[in-house]
Amino acid sequence: GENVEQHPSTLSVQEGDSAVIKCTYSDSASNYFPWYKQELGKRPQLIIDIRSNVGEKKDQRIAVTLNKTAKHFSLHITETQPEDSAVYFCAAGSDSWGKLQFGAGTQVVVTP
Amino acid sequence: ETGVTQSPTHLIKTRGQQVTLRCSSQSGHNTVSWYQQALGQGPQFIFQYYREEENGRGNFPPRFSGLQFPNYSSELNVNALELDDSALYLCASSYRLNTEAFFGQGTRLTVV
Residues 6+ apart with CB under 8 A from B62: none
Task: Please say whether the beta carbons of B85 and B111 come within 8 A.
Answer: yes
Length of chain A (residues): 112
In order, the DSSP letters of B29-62 are: --EEEEEEE-TTS--EEEEEEETTEEEEE-S--T
- Pairwise CB contact (< 8 Å): A99 & B33: yes
Q: What is the pLDDT of residue A2?
A: 59
Lowest average pLDDT, out of A20-34, B1-15, B81-95, goes to B1-15
Helix (H) or strand (E) holding B90: strand B87-94
Q: How far apart are CA B50 and CA A2, in angstroms?
A: 21
Minimal Cβ distance to B42: which of A42, A97, A102: A102
Q: How far apart are CA B109 and CA B101, in angstroms?
A: 22
Considering only CA atoms, which of B85, B93, B92, B89 is closest in space to residue B106? B89
| Pick among B29, B41, B45, B88 to test the A interface (most A CBs inside 10 A) | B45
Chain-chain contact of A97 with B94 (C-beta, under 8 angstroms): yes
CA dist B48 and B67 (Å) reads 9
What local confidence, expressed as pLDDT, does residue B28 receive? 87
pLDDT of residue B7: 97
The predicted structure's pLDDT at residue A97:
77
DSSP-based three-state secondary structure for B85: helix
Whole-number percent of chain B with pLDDT over 90: 87
Gap between the Cα atoms of B89 and A75, Å rounded? 26
What are the strands of the beta sheet with A62-67, ordered from one edge?
A: A4-7, A19-25, A72-77, A62-67, A56-59
Considering only CB atoms, which chain B residues are within 8 Å of A89? 42-43
Residue B87: list chain A partners with CB under 8 A: none
pLDDT at B1: 46
Give alpha helix (H) positions in A1-112: none
CB contact under 8 A, B50 and A96: yes
Chain A contact for B65 (CB, 8 A cutoff): no
The ranges of chain A with pLDDT < 50 are: 1
Q: Is A75 left (phi over 0), alpha (psi -120 to 50) or beta?
A: beta
Chain B partners within 8 Å of A34 (Cβ): 100-101
Write the pLDDT tens digit of every residue in A31-54.
999 999 999 989 999 999 999 888
pLDDT tens digits, residue range B28-69?
Answer: 899 999 999 999 999 999 999 999 999 999 999 999 999 999
